[in-house]
Structure 1
Amino acid sequence: MRDLSNPTRRDFLGVTAALGSVAAGISLPTAAFAQDAFPSKTLNVVTHAGPGGGTDITTRMMMLRARRVFDQDMVVVSKRGGSGAAALMYANGQPRDGHTFLTITQSHIFQIIQKKVPLTIDQIAGIARATDDPTVIAVPTNSPISSLQDVIRASAEASGGLKWGTTFAGGADHVGIHNFCKKAEGIPYTIVPFQGGGDIVTSLVGGNVDLAILNYAEGESQFAAGDLKPVVALSAERISGIPDVPTAAEQGIAAYASTVRGFAALSGVPEDRMKVLEEGLIAAMGHSAYQSYLQSGGMTSSSVVGMDEWNAHIERIFVESETALKELGLI
């Protein structure tokens, strides 16, 4: 029999955010704090990125309002190393009382898949998703590729497939490219790794690679200047900044890729405290300051979701990424 005193992430899947009463003018987080005296001290948010990185900025933008919502100080605890492994290990050594939680990305999930940390995916309890940053397949402006069908045709004609700029082999970009190509008639592809998104954009503008998956914000200035051409959005809906670019899904290829960030605790935090955190984070990220941050990156308010949707998304990332990494021979 499973020990229910140490619940896993799946134990939280039935907990929903009762936000209807917020709309009626009742502050649910405040009421919960008064009843449970939580949080009763500083909240520590563990990140794996240095200052100025996307994860760090997302965390700090949430905290702008969350300090008021929770009526407690909040600090960023940066634990860099191992693409999220160091952050997970640090959190694993802290009390499971809700005062310490993490900002996680796909990288953290990859560390679990690759067994680089002594944790399983069931021990990741999602609290709220913070960003769902859509990606787009982009090519140099002078490329003959202008559509999804062009990508498929050119890939089939090129020896070894087209050259895709990406970060490191086995990373989120690589998995996104692999899943897209698999669903797009199994087209061949070749990856060309770079150190970061900026290097990919520079190489793509220079024509050193054929195409790449970029977050809209990464390529926005180049799209506007006419240096890069967006051809396919790998999002559920068209990206507002480039509304004329169709999605792969609307053309019959259910391929999605985005940069995802969200907040999660390790299993064992009491359910009532998880709910307080969920409601507080959703309220904080509903504020105009955070919403403006989302809009500036080409994202919408639908990025922010509660436990049910976020945990389902975590599970989907895990399953799709584990499958891709097995197919790539990386696990």
Structure 2
Amino acid sequence: MTTTPVRTSRRTVLRGAAAGAGSLLLPSLARPAFAAEEFPSQTINVVTHAGPGGGTDITTRMMMLRGRREFGQDLVVVNKRGGSGSAALMYTNSQPRDGYTVMTITQSHIFQIIQKKVPLGIDDLVGIARATDDPTVISVNANSKIKTLEDLIAASKDAKGGLKWGTTFAGGADHVGIHNFAKAAGGIPYTIVPFKGGGDIVTNLVGGNVDVALLNYAEGESQFTAGEIRGVASLSEEPIAALEGVPTARDKGIDALASTVRGFAVLSGVPEDRMARLEAGMLKAMKHSVYQNYLTTSGMPLSSVAGREVWNKQIRRIHDESRTALTELGML
């Protein structure tokens, strides 16, 4: 159900100034009234691109559980589905840049900007706080002869067209992650086999229909635990605690990172003090045990929660690496 956002009309304050007796009267200066009012003083609308029950929707609502207390105001989800994030971006672009409209973004929103599906550039997107950073794992069937990253690279070179990688769809975040890893590993060949979602990829990996897949740990947790699939290396900065003995690609000298991220952002133009207030409130809400338990039970690291500096650097890295990858794949 789409929730109608709450918004007061934009007002202006006229300010006159005189420079003493006999001076010229300076023209009145008009500026938005929200520059002086206490923030927040009304409902904050959080725009999502996914329907109720999806990962983005759940992440948003989990933040809001404590966020309402931290801000002393209601937070309302506004669903704007369509275009893999473009509808959400277009809606947000139509609203005042006053801090009362926030987005929950994923890689998909960044891809819409890269592909020029919206009249926005990456500099228009300003991260407020990262909510999830779910690292991916290069995974194989437990019966595979591939046991190490060195084995995988050798097998990729030996197989005609490279190994078959399960992925979601051509040109998506998984495809870009695979491409960037293959390039960092010396340009090894690969073939993608698209499926509808992570569950289908895991099923086909267990069934031996694909050789390898790039999975979030939570997607294959049951199969990892049951010993049906095996992690070869994680594309994360730190090893994944639940996968004991599985190194990072960086540990093996391959500089490749890939994760599924969600976080909160606004469009440029929101006053700095309001962005700082949004950041502080969201970080405090997500560092509460309610949200931390959500991360833990979902198989995501507690380090997922991060502030503007870390989040904006990651947004820029995702943008730059994805734009390069899509260009190399002939998709731009």
Q: TM-score by structure 1 length?
A: 0.88
- Match of residue 312 from structure 1: 313
- Match of residue 299 from structure 1: 300
Structure 2 counterparts to residues 39-78 of structure 1, below 5 A: 39-78=40-79
- Give the deviation of 1:41 after TM superposition: 1.0
- Match of residue 18 from structure 1: none
SS at match of 1:256: coil
For the pair shown, the structure with the greater C-alpha radius of gyration is: 2
Greater relative contact order, per chain length (Cα 8 Å cut-off, separation 6+): 1
SS at match of 1:290: helix
- Match of residue 277 from structure 1: 278
- Match of residue 129 from structure 2: 128
SS at match of 1:230: strand
| Separation (CA, whole Å) in 2 of partners of 1:124 and 1:62 | 20
Consecutive unaligned residues in structure 2, runs of 5 or more? 1-35
SS at match of 2:176: helix
| Separation (CA, whole Å) in 2 of partners of 1:322 and 1:210 | 27
SS at match of 1:163: strand
- Give the deviation of 1:178 after TM superposition: 0.1
Structure 2 counterparts to residues 1-331 of structure 1, below 5 A: 36-331=37-332
| Separation (CA, whole Å) in 2 of partners of 1:293 and 1:148 | 31
Q: Which amino acid aligns with 1:105?
A: T
| Separation (CA, whole Å) in 2 of partners of 1:273 and 1:77 | 20
- Give the deviation of 1:268 after TM superposition: 1.2
| Separation (CA, whole Å) in 1 of partners of 2:206 and 2:196 | 16
Q: Which amino acid aligns with 1:103?
A: T
SS at match of 1:241: coil
Deviations 1:92-117 (A, max 9, x none): 11111111110001110000000001
- Give the deviation of 1:205 after TM superposition: 1.0
- Give the deviation of 1:118 after TM superposition: 0.6
| Separation (CA, whole Å) in 1 of partners of 2:309 and 2:300 | 20
| Separation (CA, whole Å) in 1 of partners of 2:102 and 2:160 | 47
CA contact (8 A) 1:216 1:297 kept: no
Consecutive unaligned residues in structure 1, runs of 5 or more? 1-34
| Separation (CA, whole Å) in 1 of partners of 2:98 and 2:80 | 20
Q: Could you say what the CA RMSD is over the residues aligned between the two structures, in angstroms? A: 1.2
CA contact (8 A) 1:138 1:214 kept: yes
| Separation (CA, whole Å) in 2 of partners of 1:243 and 1:89 | 43
Q: Greater share of helix residues, 1 or 2?
A: 1
Q: TM-score by structure 2 length?
A: 0.88
- Give the deviation of 1:300 after TM superposition: 2.4
SS at match of 1:168: coil
- Give the deviation of 1:294 after TM superposition: 1.3
- Give the deviation of 1:305 after TM superposition: 1.1
Q: What is the number of equivalent residue pairs in this alignment?
A: 298
Between 65-74 and 302-311, the greater mean CA deviation after superposition: 302-311
| Separation (CA, whole Å) in 2 of partners of 1:105 and 1:282 | 18
- Give the deviation of 1:36 after TM superposition: 4.7
| Separation (CA, whole Å) in 2 of partners of 1:300 and 1:174 | 23
4+ residue segments displaced more than 3 Å: none
Q: Which amino acid aligns with 1:305?
A: A
SS at match of 1:142: coil
**Identity of aligned pairs, percent?**
71
